[in-house]
């Protein structure tokens, strides 16, 4: 939707193509100050963090801090993951502007970097702050518990709904 060409290296990573267009549409059409997307995007996140933490990729320290506080408050915890351009060559060196996967190494990092390319307003312009704070939450590991814990039976978890409700509650009370 934003005019970037994408090489589809892996058809199993089709969801990020739809999410990329949704991010671009939402950030350009509605011009929000904050965009948070939640997806079971990569098996790599399950490998990295398991069922304990939801992986968060963000360009905003302020947004990260607010999400982390909300997550801790609700015991629906987040872990900040690297969103670094050093992973870029894995998805930029293709026959198109971007490749939809960067291979196995740092798979969740390259998936988030791919999405970042479609959020309008997260890059600072003319020395000003970015107009949009963005976070990608990869819930591939936390969407389901394989063993019960004191407040959650085995099965689907609904995570990170508790933390996001708390995030919004705190934001609205300012």
Nearest to 119, CA basis, from 33, 39, 9? 33
pLDDT at 94 over 80: no
Nearest to 164, CA basis, from 140, 135, 144, 141? 135
Model pLDDT, residue 93: 77
Give 124-164 pLDDT, tens digit per residue: 888 888 999 999 999 999 999 999 877 788 999 999 999 99
Cis peptide before 160 (omega within 30 of 0): yes
Domain boundaries, the chain: 6-172
Question: What is 6-172's CATH number?
Answer: 3.40.630.10
**pTM metric for this prediction:** 0.94
Rounded CA gap, 137 and 56, in Å?
5
């Amino acid at each position: 939707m934003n005019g970037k060409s994408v090489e589809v290296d892996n058809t199993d990573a089709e969801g990020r193509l739809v999410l990329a267009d949704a991010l671009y549409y939402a950030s350009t059409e509605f011009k929000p100050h904050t965009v948070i997307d939640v997806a079971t995007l990569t098996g790599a996140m399950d490998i990295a963090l398991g069922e304990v933490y939801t992986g968060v990729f963000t360009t905003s320290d302020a947004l990260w801090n607010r999400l982390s506080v909300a997550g801790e408050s609700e015991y629906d915890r987040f872990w900040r993951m690297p969103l670094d351009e050093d992973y870029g060559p894995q998805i930029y060196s293709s026959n198109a502007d971007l490749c939809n996967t960067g291979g196995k190494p740092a798979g969740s990092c390259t998936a988030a970097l791919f999405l970042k390319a479609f959020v309008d307003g997260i890059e600072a312009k003319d020395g000003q702050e970015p107009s949009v704070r963005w976070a990608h939450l990869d819930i591939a590991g936390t969407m389901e518990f394989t063993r019960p814990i004191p407040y959650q039976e085995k099965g689907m978890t609904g995570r990170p709904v508790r933390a996001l409700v708390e995030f919004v509650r705190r934001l609205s009370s300012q």
